[in-house]
Structure 1
């Protein structure tokens, strides 16, 4: 199964969503990279091919790829295309660092664990 098939299998852009299309694409690729659905080194479809498949402008896909590249999730090598650069390890490390920082603030301010968990749960539901 090629990367195009993996990307669009049982998934489509939600045109009713308040989440912009480029962000939906970015999140889809991020999810596949972190779950192993797209292995490190997997080449992504060209910007034009994915845009045509999803029925969006090429700039929409290009922005998703650009943001993923800035985050270190994909790497673009000119005519060689765009490929998955890192999987869940980098993502997990970033989340763990944020959790450590949050835990430090919680301890410093004397917030209970139960209250801290309610706060973070509310924040996750909000985003």
Structure 2
């Protein structure tokens, strides 16, 4: 499993980790029953704070994508692929809302926001 975090990205590191784990589950790179690295191990590998990875794991646990088996670790749930589309859609809505709210806070009108999205999608 390869996860990368872009410190310069506007998306927070925990969200990048969360999104990449969702993608890996959706594409089958992470199969149901797969044990994930410990929070400490993944945080160390990525050069992140433990709490950053813990937040990503916590959100995926709450979404029903992962399950904690106590001292045995954190695993991809057997039914994770059933939940992934809903979890991804919810996260996408959150990201879009954050973007739109940020753009509106600096006075950007809706048509310019849509134009910026179109340009970003075209690149």
Q: TM-score, normalised by structure 2?
A: 0.67
Indicate the RMSD between aligned Cα atoms, in angstroms: 2.3
Residue 80 of structure 2 corresponds to: 87
How far the C-alpha of 1:77 sits from its partner, in A, is 1.4
How far the C-alpha of 1:89 sits from its partner, in A, is 2.4
How far the C-alpha of 1:78 sits from its partner, in A, is 1.3
- Secondary structure at the aligned position of 1:32 is classed as helix
Match of 1:12 among 1, 4, 24: 4
Q: TM-score, normalised by structure 1?
A: 0.65
Q: Which runs of 4+ in 1 moved over 4 A?
A: none
Residue 46 of structure 2 corresponds to: 54
Contact kept, 8 Å, 1:65 with 1:74, in 2: the verdict is yes
How far the C-alpha of 1:79 sits from its partner, in A, is 0.5
Residue 25 of structure 1 corresponds to: 17
Contact kept, 8 Å, 1:35 with 1:88, in 2: the verdict is no
Structure 2, unaligned runs of 5 or more: 91-113, 119-123
Mapped to 1, the partners of 2:12 and 2:6 lie a distance apart of 9
Structure 1, unaligned runs of 5 or more: 1-5, 99-121
Mapped to 2, the partners of 1:24 and 1:69 lie a distance apart of 16
Q: How many residues in Structure 1 have an aligned counterpart in Structure 2?
A: 91
